[in-house]
Chains A and B, each alone.
Chain A
Amino acid sequence: MSELFEHFNFAVVIVLMMVGLYVVFASNNMIKKLVGLSVFQTSVFLLYISMSNVDGGQPPIIAEEDLHVAEGGGHDVVADGVAEGAHQAAEVLYSNPLPHVLILTAIVVGVATLAIGLALVVRIREVYGTIEEDEIDALDYEINLEGAAE
């Protein structure tokens, strides 16, 4: 049980992922499906961010003092100064910044997908008059029957 609370973030990830997937599968309404998809994608963001957290780590922003140490070395030893600053910085524990960048990309992708999904829903509403999947199936029933019959 204590493991569950130690890895609480990951438990939340699992819960959100399953909730999101269930909403996608079980919803009749298209907007609700998109909502479920968003919840599902959000759980993935949480997974990445949880993995990037280092115990006792600072936010991954180089602190001011280390930058000044690097600059103070003079022109031709700036390369050394950067290495020195990096060395100083290495003594401070930082959280991993790479998953943050990955998540930014994934968020943008999620936003674009949601925008396209909503645009499709708007068009479907205009063409069919409804956004419930069973009503749309009923409207298309005749023409689908013609397509699958022999």
Chain B
Amino acid sequence: MQFMSLIMTVFPEWILTHGAASVVVVPLMFAVLTALNPNAKIAWATVLAVTALCVFTSLGLLLQVASHGPIHYNMGGWVPPLGIGYYVDGLNAPILLLISVVAFLCTIYALPSVAAEVEPKKKGPFYAAFLISFAGLLGMVVTADAFNVFVFLEVSSISTYVLVGMGASRDRRALTSSFNYLIMGSIGATFFVVGIGFLYMQTGTLNMMDIARVLQDIGPNDRVVQLAFAFIVIGLGLKLAMFPLHMWLPGAYAYAPSFFTAFLAATATKAALYLLLRFTFTVFDPSWDFVTTALMILLAGLGILGMLAASLQAIFQNDLRRVLAYSSVAQVGYMLLGIGMATTLGLTAGYLHMINHAMMKGALFIAAGAFWYRFGITQVCDMRGLGKTMPWTMAGFTLAGISLIGVPGTAGFVSKLTLVRAAAENGWWWAIGVIVVTSILAIVYIGRIIEQAYFQPVPEIDGKPVVRNEAPYTMLIPLWIMALSALAFGINAEWTTSLAEAAAHVLDAGPNTIIPGAHDVVPSVIGGH
């Protein structure tokens, strides 16, 4: 506690009061300034400064939530449910920090990567679209108004479609992947907005806390409420790549520019998963029958199917980034399994895996981009001898890879162990079996890559072996920060586990109906400040 109040003195008052809004507003405003900027270096520096500021702000928000409790921020001074409120508590503060940190690290990585992959004239707008996507993700996480979620969901998705399409200069399949993602993503977002519409029909309000309050009065037997839940779960499920709604993910991750894939893989599905948690546990009541059935059968069941199917498919891919993309679908399956159990330990496991997976996948995709940057490598069979030609990069990849498998001492092991403990506590022995089987499958697809890199001879050009050509420092630093954090959070998982437990606590508390200052909503608020 004292340590935290000491740190809090570092943060200026203004950031703590307006932090919830500034994490969204600052990237948006600087996005338009970056779009106008013809100089790529200045654009990159602006993005770096903005993401650093967001890291600082979200850290301040996290510390404030840890010491003072949830933050309610009323946009425009209007108290919800009249106005839109932003709400930061133990569930979304770690995710804000996660998204900001990943964006910052990926921006360091972007300097050489974007220079190689995006045409010079388009770099300013490219960084601008990235900032808009970043702001959209942060907005999705921080808002407490259901329709505002849809707006930010679409803001981040539309900029993502553009950014995925920018990979076309490297591989023309980026265009069709982006189109596919556009169609599926728009259908998902529209399903979500239909769900919100049904909720509004029955409750008359859009603020999440107020909806929870009215739903408590309505009860679980109302068919419109059940329908709203179905639409919201499917809509969000499409965004978080729940099997079988994951078909957009391999193409989008494989052919987007590597900087953006690293960012997207580590953040987009996590934000959608947070929204699923928020809606299922704190808006709809998890003690209701239809919610429990959906959790156990739909989420956990599809999670299991996703784990098995995607891990199997990952084994048979030859494109490195497609392997990692299918692996992401499998990891989302782990998270859904944890959430589907709906027990405290299960929710902790799912949330912990979210945080750990972001670090691991970010490192893996950064390394994959570095391989392309130096040697133009996209296929696994071309990765022969990379252990000798790019030792540091490959070592970082290996570290993140063994964390993905779940070797003891790494972050992946901690979250998988928590998941196994949660399954055992719940009596789901078959789930433990599936977790073990998919870990073995992970050994196969990661092991295949490591075997190619370390145990195959270095390829020869004109009879001479390829010379060692390490990735530049701006690529190695974020790679190793993420890989080392995967290791560090495996050796000492106290901090991440405490964050996950705090989040599970918020979810266990059930529907959240508290809106401070909402009891006196009278039109006299106009002019009276």
Q: Is B176 an interface residue (CB 8 A)?
A: yes
Q: Is the CB of A44 within 8 A of B183?
A: no
List residues of chain B with CB within 8 A of the CB of A77. none
Indicate if the CB atoms of A37 and B183 lie closer than 8 Å: yes
Q: For A47, what are the chain B residues with a Cβ–Cβ distance below 8 Å? A: 194, 197
| Also in contact, A44 and B193, with CB within 8 A (given A33-B183, A127-B172) | yes
A21 within 8 A of B: yes
A148 to B317, CA, bound (A): 5
Chain B residues positioned under 8 Å from A98 (CB to CB): 206
Interface string of B136-161 (1 = CB under 8 A from A): 00000000000100110010001001
Q: Which residues of A contact B401 (CB under 8 A)?
A: none
Residue in A closest to B526 when the chains form the complex, CB atoms? A82
Contact A24 B158 (CB under 8 A): no
Q: A82-B526, A147-B322 are known contacts; what are 17 more A-B pairs with Cβ within 8 Å?
A: A24-B183, A34-B183, A40-B187, A79-B524, A82-B523, A99-B200, A105-B147, A112-B154, A112-B158, A113-B154, A113-B182, A116-B161, A123-B168, A124-B175, A143-B173, A148-B318, A150-B318
- Give the Cβ gap from B491 to chain A, nearest Cβ, in Å: 36
Cβ–Cβ < 8 Å partners of B348 in chain A: none
Do A109 and B527 touch across chains, with their CB atoms under 8 A apart? no
Question: CB within 8 A of B179: which of A51, A106, A120, A146?
Answer: A120
A sample of 27 inter-chain contacts (CB < 8 A) reads: A37-B186, A37-B187, A40-B190, A44-B190, A48-B197, A79-B524, A79-B527, A99-B197, A99-B200, A105-B147, A106-B150, A106-B193, A109-B154, A109-B189, A113-B158, A113-B186, A116-B161, A117-B179, A120-B175, A127-B172, A144-B173, A146-B379, A147-B318, A147-B322, A148-B322, A149-B318, A150-B318
Contacts of B172 in A (CB 8 A): 127-128
Does B430 sit at the interface, judged by CB under 8 A? no
User: Contact check: which of B193, B197, B318 meets A146 at CB < 8 Å?
Assistant: B318
A140 CB-CB contact with B under 8 Å: yes
Tell me the smallest distance from the CB of B209 to a CB of chain A, in Å.
17
Contact of B158 among A41, A102, A116 (CB under 8 A): A116
Is B76 interfacial (CB-CB < 8 Å)?
no
> Contact: A120 with B187, CB < 8 Å?
no
B133 at the binding interface (Cβ < 8 Å)? no
A86 at interface, CB cutoff 8 A: yes
* Pair B200/A41 contact, Cβ less than 8 Å: no
Interface residues of B in 286-338 (CB under 8 A from A): 316-319, 322
Contacts of B427 in A (CB 8 A): none
Establish whether residues B183 and A127, one from each chain, have CB atoms under 8 Å apart when the complex forms: no
Cα separation A136 to B175 with both chains bound (whole Å): 11
How many whole Å from B266's CB to the nearest CB in chain A?
23
Residue-wise, chain B 513-528 has the 8 Å CB interface mask toward A (1 for contact) of: 0000000000110111
Tell me the bound Cα distance from A148 to B523 in angstroms: 63
As a 0/1 sequence over residues 435 to 465 of chain B, the CB contacts with chain A under 8 angstroms (1 = contact) are 0000000000000000000000000000000
Please give the residue numbers on chain A whose beta carbons come within 8 Å of chain B beta carbons, in ascending order: 21, 24, 30, 33-34, 37, 40-41, 44, 47-48, 51, 79, 82-83, 86, 98-99, 102, 105-106, 109, 112-113, 116-117, 120-121, 123-124, 127-128, 136, 140, 143-144, 146-150
Q: Which chain A residue lies CB-closest to B155?
A: A109
With beta carbons under 8 angstroms apart, the residue of A41, A48, A143, A148 that contacts B316 is A148
Known A24-B187, A37-B183: A124·B524 in contact at CB below 8 Å: no
Instruction: Verify A127–B201 contact, CB threshold 8 A.
Output: no
Distance from B210 Cβ to chain A, minimum over Cβ atoms (Å): 13
Contacts of A99 in B (CB 8 A): 197, 200
Q: Give min CB distance, A67 to chain B, whole Å.
A: 14
Interface of B is mostly: helix
What are the 9 closest A-B residue pairs judged by CB atoms, nearest first? A147-B319, A109-B154, A120-B179, A124-B175, A127-B172, A51-B201, A113-B186, A117-B182, A147-B318
Q: Are A136 and B176 in contact (CB under 8 A)?
A: yes
Specify which chain B residues have a CB less than 8 angstroms from the CB of A51 in the assembled complex. Answer: 197, 200-201
CA distance A150 to B182 in the complex (A): 30
What residues of A have a CB within 8 angstroms of the CB of B201 in the complex?
Answer: 51
Which residues of B have CB within 8 Å of A128? 172
B523 → chain A, closest Cβ, in Å? 5
CB distance from B479 to the nearest CB of A (A): 24
Measured CB to CB, the closest approach of chain A to B312, in angstroms, equals 13
Given the complex of chains A and B, what is the CA–CA distance between A128 and B174 in angstroms? 12
Residues on A with beta carbons closer than 8 Å to the beta carbon of B318: 146-150
Pair A150/B528 contact, Cβ less than 8 Å: no
Chain B residues lying within 8 Å of A149, measured Cβ to Cβ, are 318
Q: Per a CB cutoff under 8 Å, which of B173, B179, B316 touches A140? A: B173
Q: A99-B200, A120-B165 are in contact. Are A79 and B186 (CB under 8 A)?
A: no
Give complex CA distance A34, B186 in Å: 10
B66 within 8 A of A: no
A123 near B165: Cβ-Cβ < 8 Å = yes
Are B194 and A124 within 8 A (Cβ)? no
Residues B182 and A86 in contact, CB atoms below 8 Å apart? no
B-side contacts of A120, CB under 8 Å: 161, 165, 175, 178-179, 182
Q: Choose from A34, A79, A148 the contact partner of B528 (Cβ within 8 Å).
A: A79
Q: Which residue of A lies closest to B196 (CB)?
A: A102
- In the complex, residue of chain A having the shortest beta-carbon distance to the beta carbon of B522: A83
Q: Compute how far the CA of A146 lies from the CA of B378 in the bound complex, rounded to whole angstroms.
A: 11
- Most chain A beta-carbon contacts within 10 A, residue among B162, B200, B526: B200
A51-B201, A105-B151, A109-B154 known; A147 vs B379 contact (CB < 8 Å): yes
